[in-house]
Amino acid sequence: MTPPDIADNFRLLINHSAFPCVGAKSALARGTLDILVARDLCSNWDDRRIYDGITRIVQAYRADRALFQSFAVIFEGPVDLDEKRFEKFLWARAESLTNKDTWLGAPRDARVSSDPEDPHFSLSFGEEAFFIVGLHPRASRPARRFERPVLVFNLHDQFEQLREQGRYERMREKIIERDVALAGSPNPMLARHGSISEARQYSGRNVAEPQWRCPFNPVART
């Protein structure tokens, strides 16, 4: 399978009537879903390309705060990771990208916490807060299942915009309704930002166990 086919298949997944995330559907329909095909989730080979793609999203968003701008990185492999190993390498990529942000001198987004145990935690790139939605072939939640590993980077500020416009709660309810229709049960990890750390939601694995600790240890910013 060639990389363009992978990207097309991901677009087909989002466009499918059963796919629950209406935000992703809006990004696809508006042409604001940027897709990068990378080599290996378990390697830092493409981390600079990924970081540059995130930077482009930040620049585009600051030039025009239009809603539903998103950046999806589809990895060619591996396709046999179980949920725990996918989670491990999701955080390895997040840590590597955060270290690049630090080395390049970008300040953190002061609106969010850098502590993954903090309810207000979020990743930060180019002084903009992001959260990740992970998908992979062996995900237990159907909405998080795709033929290749995927990391989707979404800007937090877009959800603040939706709250200001009074649209956030209805969109959230619609996504939950559609997810329940697809999976047959609510996602136990779904929570509002500020109630528990969003770090528990990134990989899609059920990490409700209290002893879970986020495997994220980037270099300290000075």
DSSP string, 161-210: HHHHTT-HHHHHHHHHHHHHHHHSS--TT---BTTB-GGGGSS-S----T
Asked if residue 214 is part of any domain, the answer here is no
52 within domain boundaries: yes
Quote the radius of gyration of the chain (alpha carbons, Å).
16
Q: How many domains does the chain have?
A: 1
Please indicate, yes or no, if residue 51 is contained in any of the structural domains. Answer: yes
**220 in a domain, yes or no?**
no
Q: Print the domain residue range for 34.
A: 3-201
Evaluate whether residue 211 is within a structural domain: no
With respect to residue 208, please indicate whether it lies within any of the assigned structural domains.
no
pLDDT confidence tier of residue 4, bands split at 50, 70 and 90: low
Q: Do the domain assignments include residue 61?
A: yes
pLDDT at 5 over 70: yes
Residue at 218 is within a domain: no
What mean pLDDT, rounded, does the chain reach?
93
Q: Rounded to two decimals, what is the model's pTM?
A: 0.95
Q: What is the pLDDT of residues 55-92, one digit of tens each?
A: 999 999 999 999 999 999 999 999 999 999 999 999 99
pLDDT tens, residue by residue, 92-115: 999 999 999 999 999 999 999 999
